[in-house]
Structure 1
Amino acid sequence: MSQSTLERPVSAETAPAARPRRRITGNGLLFVYTWLVIIWLIVPIVVMILFSFNDTKGRYNQTWEGWTFKWYGKIFEIEDLTKALWTSLAIAVISSIVSAALGTGIGYALGRYRFRGSGTLNIVMFSTISSPELIMGASLLSLFVSANLGLGYATITIAHIMFSISFVAAIVRARVVTLDRSIEEAAADLGATPWTAFWKVTFPIILPAVFSGLLLAFALSIDDFVVTNFTAGSVVTFPLWIWGSTRVGLPPQVNVMGTLIFAAGVLIAVVTNIRSRQGKRD
């Protein structure tokens, strides 16, 4: 082999390609951050579901001792806990329905019309959303005491309606703002009265927002502790019972009830999502 061949430089075509360095882009960081937040939110739920199958030998569910399904058959074994759960469910159903009805009217008015006092109403509505529950609970307690209202089921329901209306109104308002008014105008041109146009045209369009607000009001009601603690009196709801039992330990039935409530919420969300997609395709 000649010296000229040995000294010939390697061309760019024959040189091995350098491996590109992997760089973490903004999208990659956002992807990792999103999954870390999701995992952080899911871990407590997974622990709750896991301990609903815990084969604990005592009354309280504190350490993992094995798998069992027996607690699902004994879910209503503790009478006080069962009563507290049904109390919370009844209050949540009533307050969510009333909040959805009142909040839909407020949200529709704020999204469609400009009237004197609408700005003040917006401020009051979002102040209710952003105010601490401690302040709201104390103020509602003062209101009920000054009005000589005995604390109990009625005061809890009124309190839950008061803080849920704003959430429903905000969701409905956001949907009404994006509503195409030409659809209602077409209904009016065809002879529909304003009331008929609302129920036949407008309401079916904003119904998903109304249903979302109703579900949010239900979740806020059944989960509320601070405001309920101020306005409950001698009535014990599901969160209040759990808080009282944490001093000695939670029974497995609490995890079972929490798991079933969570599963029902996920099922409703999945069915609603499927139906909304089918509606868009149609």
Structure 2
Amino acid sequence: MTAARAAGSVGSAGSAGSAETAGAAGGGARAPRRRPDLGKWFTWAALAWLFAPIAGMVVFSFNDIQGRQNVTWQGFTLKWYGQAFAYADLNQALLNTLALGVLTMLIAGTIGSLLGLALGRHRFRGRGTTNLVMFAAIAAPEVVLGAALLSLFLTVNVTTGFTTTLIAHVMFTLSFVAITVRARVLTLDPALEEAARDLGAGPWETFRLVTFPLLLPAIMAGGLLALALSVDDFIITTFVSGDTTTFPLWIWGATRVGIPPQVNVMGALIFGLGVLLAACNVLLARRRR
């Protein structure tokens, strides 16, 4: 009995000591600190850096300014949206820009798509050199391209204007379309075209029913990219436009003597149109899923 009681006492004391030790260890442990999510903060900072000027442009498009300096807030108004097309030279610049963009999209889209298809599908002499020229045209600074094109037009005694601007826009956007389509061609499955030929389709039917639908997204992407680059271009256009004024050139000339409210209004409208198109694209993608 005495030995049993002694063993029980020792066991109880050991259990109590283990519990106290565990409690002390648990009380002394600290919860790990959460490290700040630097990636999240960097993302928000980058977005703020990108969209702060756009937000300022949209806000000041509603500013009731007096004079030509639109740099201080003087009240809310919508009258500038009613006078967005009040300047005849602005309207002409917008028409020139739209015409150049659409023509560039059609011409560069067609030639660039054919060139991209040839570079991605066929092997011919000079293929590597052509690829190098395509990438060099993208990597070259626009100042160099603009100066080179102006020198070319002056050498052959061509008067700069709308036509030379269109030629320049097609030349520097062609590479973007060709490389976009070429990248898509390289990912096509040859078995699809082989299956079409096995089923009796000729070369034209195979291209029309199989190849072209598969390339259509890349062709549209390249064409829209050419349109955006043409509408946005300023440097090359400055060299070769002559007496033709585009929207970027009009904005640059207008801001030299002030900041007309129409500049912010047109910028806000163009940005809103871009947001609307992006939203429609997202909605269509969700419906397809």
TM-score, normalised with respect to structure 1: 0.89
**In structure 2, do the counterparts of structure 1 residues 175 and 266 end up closer, same or farther at CA, with 3 Å as the change threshold?**
farther
Question: Which one is further off, 12-21 or 167-176?
Answer: 12-21
2-side partners of 1:107 and 1:13: how far apart?
72
Partner residue, 1:34: 43
Give the 3 Å change call, closer, same or farther, for CA 32–194 of structure 1 in structure 2.
Answer: farther
Cα distance in structure 1, aligned partners of 2:224 and 2:177:
9
Asked if 1:153 corresponds to 2:162, the answer is: yes
Amino acid in the other structure paired with 2:20: V
Asked if residue 21 in structure 1 is aligned to residue 41 in structure 2, the reply is no
Structure 1: distance between partners of 2:35 and 2:84: 52
Cα drift, residue 172 of structure 1 = 1.3
Question: How far did 1:271 drift?
Answer: 2.7
The gaps in structure 2 that reach 5 residues or longer are: 1-12
Higher Rg of the two aligned structures: 2
Determine the C-alpha separation between the residues in 2 that align with 1:278 and 1:173: 29
Q: Structure 1 stretches (4+) deviating beyond 4 angstroms?
A: 276-279
Offset, 1:261:
1.6
Q: Please give the residue correspondences for 1:74-89 in structure 2 after superposition, counting only pairs within 5 Å.
A: 74-89=83-98
Q: What amino acid maps onto 1:116 in structure 2?
A: R
The Cα of 1:75 is off from its aligned counterpart by: 0.6
Which structure 2 residues correspond to residues 176-191 of structure 1 after superposition, within 5 A? Answer: 176-191=185-200
Greater shift, 79-88 or 50-59, is seen at: 50-59
Q: 1:12 corresponds to which residue?
A: 22
Other-structure match for 2:140: 131
Please tell me the residue identity of whatever aligns with 1:38.
L
Partner in structure 1 of residue 10 of structure 2: none
Single out whichever of 8-17 and 52-61 deviates more from structure 2: 8-17
Q: Check 1:270–1:185 CA distance in 2 against 1; reply closer, same or farther (3 A cut).
A: farther
- C-alpha deviations, 1:190-233, integer Å up to 9, x for none? 22222222222122222122111111111111111110010011
Letter in 2 for 1:151: T
Give the Cα–Cα distance (whole angstroms) in 2 for the partners of residues 106 and 234 of structure 1: 32
One-letter amino acid of the counterpart of residue 91, structure 1? L
* Cα distance in 2 between the residues matched to 1:172 and 1:63: 47
Amino acid across the alignment from 2:236:
V
Higher helix share: 2
Distance in 2, Cα, partners of 1:32 & 1:53? 31
Distance in 2, matches of 1:48 and 1:256, equals 8
Report what 2:231 is aligned to. 222
Gaps of 5+ in 1: none
Q: How many residues align?
A: 273
Deviates more, 1:258-267 or 1:161-170: 258-267
Rounded Cα–Cα distance in structure 2 between residues aligned with 1:275 and 1:203: 22
Counterpart for residue 67 of structure 1: 76
Identity of aligned residues (%): 53
Question: Any conservation in 2 of the 1:62–1:249 contact (CA below 8 Å)?
Answer: no
The whole-number CA distance in structure 1 between the counterparts of 2:279 and 2:179 is 23
User: What residue identity is the alignment partner of 1:10?
Assistant: E
TM-score by length of 2: 0.87
Q: Report how far residue 234 of structure 1 moved.
A: 1.2
Are positions 1:106 and 2:118 aligned together?
Answer: no
